[in-house]
Structure 1
Amino acid sequence: MAILDAPPPKASRGGGVKAIRTAGELLITAGLVVLLFVVYELYVTDLFSAQKQASATSALDNDWANGRQLHPELIDGKAFAKLYIPSFGADYHFTIQEGTDAAALEVGPGHYKGTALPGEPGNFAVAGHRVGKGAPFNDIDLLNSCDAIVVETQTDYFVYRVLPHDDEIANWATGKGKQPQCARVSTLRTNAPDGGAYAKTTGREIVSPTQGDVVSPVPHQPVDILPTAQEVSLLTLTTCHPRFSDRQRLIVHAVLTDQYPKTPGSTYAQLLQAIGEG
């Protein structure tokens, strides 16, 4: 039987294959680095922040128990209040530190220095991470109008409720505003043609990082637009938006509706019953 001639050998492609293999290995390595970074940001920093948060809470409880914060001097990075959001469950609670620098926010929510204190007229403004580092404000986009946000100090519980969202304002008085939990929540608008000083204040908004006036005493207004005695007591929460990005900021505004002085033996659970959230 005749033997067929073998085809001529193909030109060597060793160099091209090696280059492709090298590029593939580099891509795999880069992917692993990115994956490790994501794991670190989402989980490892959460563990570190949880430890720091527990330590800050313990120190604050000790200060309160020994009467060392009755008239607290705000110190950068030091906790001075606690934050609760009942609709997020009984285990949602964070201490609030003074300041919004990186070190403070690694512990938990941070108070914008110079803004009002809990219960005061003006704007008690607090920042928090949305992803990693404990992610205390991961879900604040889920807050609805009239949802309660509770701030605890050594002497009082302050109950704020989220203001009407933009699409609820027009029909607030005849719509959701009639619900029991909204009894002390208004649109803050006046009969003035422009709606008054708080015409730009809504329960939720998305702004650019440069719009620092969201934490002004009257949001989006010059700091001296109203005398302090005429300012509403607000709480403002700020965080990055969307998740995994710092391109914008998500803002939640709430208004003070109740103040409950703490008495011996009083508990947060009893407060929830009093405000209809238990």
Structure 2
Amino acid sequence: MESSEVVTAPPPDRRGERLRGGIRITGEVLITLGLVFLLFVFYAVHVTDWTSARRQAEASERLRAEWERPAASAAPAAQGEGFAELHIPALGPGFRYTVLEGTDATTLAAGPGHYTGTALPGEQGNLAIAGHRIGKGAPFGDLDRLAACDAIVVETATDWYVYRVLPMRDQVAGWDPAADPRCAGVAPIGGPYQGLVGQEIVHPEQGEVIYPVPWRPREELPREQQTRLITLTTCHPRWSAAQRLIVHGVLVKQYPKDPVHRDLRPAELEES
């Protein structure tokens, strides 16, 4: 006798399949995002470096050709053009970059840029220069490695200017320049410069760090009374523009170039 009841089997439990499917899709998305990120890193670090290296080489070639002309001077060139060369021996014997006029994105993609309106090399006031820390040549990639008294040498058509990094905040109280022969002429600066140190971290909007007297009103001190400073700025930390790493130095020496022996170089360039 046939039963009038129809027994229906329960539907299969597909929760495991859905879970596995979700995990698979999530994994594929993460892998895709990872590949996109790796491509971005490759572009940011390598492709932009290659492009910037070419632009920097072209700027250096133009600058050297300009210096060979009889009327060559140390005055800044037009926006985006080179006017000086920056050497930082502590960052390697080959650290040499042509400094370009201006700090717009196009200029900084070709090398360190001079903040227009700040002092020129050797002038009283504050010679301020910006540079990238990641990609686009990353001229200031290792700026955080600079220590007190490290040389920052600026070369122009006519002179070599030797600046040295100021003492760090934790060195000021017990500063003894005699402890290192490189520190001759380097000491904490008093007066309106009180509190200025070799390295500091600031927010992007704190442009006072490049004032003639950092952190003071622009007109507080007449130019003839201003100390000859250099300030280097870059992003901080790496891969971020949240803050700025600032390095301050003071001019300690100036060497006029020998017009006959043009290959003569300051001994400071051989420091490590």
TM-score when normalising by structure 1: 0.88
Higher alpha-carbon Rg: 2
Deviation at residue 30 of structure 1 after TM alignment: 1.1
Match of 1:277 in 2: 271
Match of 1:206 in 2: 201
Which amino acid is the alignment partner of residue 199 of structure 1?
Answer: Q
Is 1:267 the equivalent of 2:268? no
Deviation at residue 15 of structure 1 after TM alignment: 4.8
Secondary structure of the residue that 1:197 maps to in structure 2? helix
CA distance in 2, matches of 1:58, 1:38: 29
Deviation at residue 130 of structure 1 after TM alignment: 0.6
Secondary structure of the residue that 1:240 maps to in structure 2? strand
CA distance in 1, matches of 2:74, 2:189: 31
CA distance in 1, matches of 2:178, 2:189: 12
- Which residues in structure 2 correspond to 1:7-156 (within 5 Å)? 10-12=12-14, 14-67=17-70, 69-70=72-73, 72-156=75-159
Deviation at residue 109 of structure 1 after TM alignment: 0.4
Unaligned runs of 5+ in 2: 1-9
Deviation at residue 272 of structure 1 after TM alignment: 2.0
Unaligned runs of 5+ in 1: 1-7, 190-195
Which amino acid is the alignment partner of residue 165 of structure 2?
Answer: V
Alignment counterpart, residue 223 of structure 2, candidates 215, 221, 228 = 228
CA distance in 2, matches of 1:15, 1:140: 52
Alignment counterpart, residue 242 of structure 2, candidates 247, 256, 261 = 247
Contact 1:151/1:158, CA 8 A, preserved across alignment: yes
TM-score when normalising by structure 2: 0.90
Which deviations, in whole Å up to 9, do the C-alpha atoms of 1:149-177 show, x marking residues without a partner? Answer: 100000000000001111111111xx345
User: Please, what is the CA RMSD of the aligned residues?
Assistant: 2.0
Which deviations, in whole Å up to 9, do the C-alpha atoms of 1:55-94 show, x marking residues without a partner? Answer: 1101111111123532535311111100001122221100
How many residue pairs were aligned?
262
Deviation at residue 271 of structure 1 after TM alignment: 1.0
Which deviations, in whole Å up to 9, do the C-alpha atoms of 1:101-151 show, x marking residues without a partner? Answer: 110110010000110000000000000001111111111111111111100
Which deviations, in whole Å up to 9, do the C-alpha atoms of 1:11-43 show, x marking residues without a partner? Answer: 345555444333322221111101100111111
CA distance in 1, matches of 2:183, 2:171: 12
